[in-house]
Amino acid sequence: MSRIAPLEPPYPQQIQEQFDKVMSSGQPPLVLFRTIATSERAYSKLRGGGLLDRGPLTLRAREIVIDRTCALNRCEYEWGVHVAIFQQPAKLTDDEVRATVLEGPDAACWNEAEQALIAAVDALHHHATWSDIEFAALKAHYSDDQILEVIQLCGFYRTIAYFANGLKLPLEPFSARFPD
C-alpha cells in the first residue's frame, strides 16, 4: 500500500485531461501519477520537467538510460513500467533488459556506444560527474544535445525513483519484475 493514497476516479476534469495527455488512450493512469497528483504543486512540477517526451536520443538509448537509472536506484516500480511498455518498441532483448539490473557496462550484449552510455549513467549515479575518459567515450557516440538529455534523464528518473521508493508505490499489475 502506498504511503500516500493515490487519487481515485472520477478525477477532477483538469487532472483527467492531464492524465489523458501522458497515458495511451484508454489506459488508466499509473499509481505514480495518481499519487503525485494529490498535490497540485508536485504534479505540476513533475509535468514541468518536460522529459515525458522522446527528446534527442533514440528510443532505445533513452530506455537504456531510464532502465539503468531505475535499476541503480532499486526502483522496481518504474523499471518495471518502462520494461513492460518500451522493451519491444525499443528493441531491447531479454538479455539486455536483464543486464540493466545485473551486469556492468561492459556486458557482451551491448555495443560500444551503449557501453559508453551505461558507463556514463553509472558514473553519474555513483559520483555525480564523469571522468575525462568517461566523457570522451560518451562524446565519441553522442551529440551535445544527447549528452545533455542523458544528464536530465538520469536526474529526472532518480527523482521518480525517490517518489516510487519513498512512497512505497505498489507495482503496477502489468509491470515487469526485477530479474533474480
Reported as a single tens digit per residue, the pLDDT across 74-99 is 999 999 999 999 999 999 999 999 99
Residues for the chain: how many in total? 180
Domain ranges of the chain: 13-48, 59-166
126-147 residue pLDDT tens: 999 999 999 999 999 999 999 9
Task: For residue 24, name the pLDDT band (cuts at 50, 70, 90).
Answer: confident
Cis preceding linkage at 10, omega within 30 = yes
Burial per residue of 18-34, b for 16 or more beta-carbon CB atoms within 10 angstroms, e otherwise: bbeeeeeeeeebbbbbb
Q: What is the CATH number of domain 59-166?
A: 1.20.1290.10
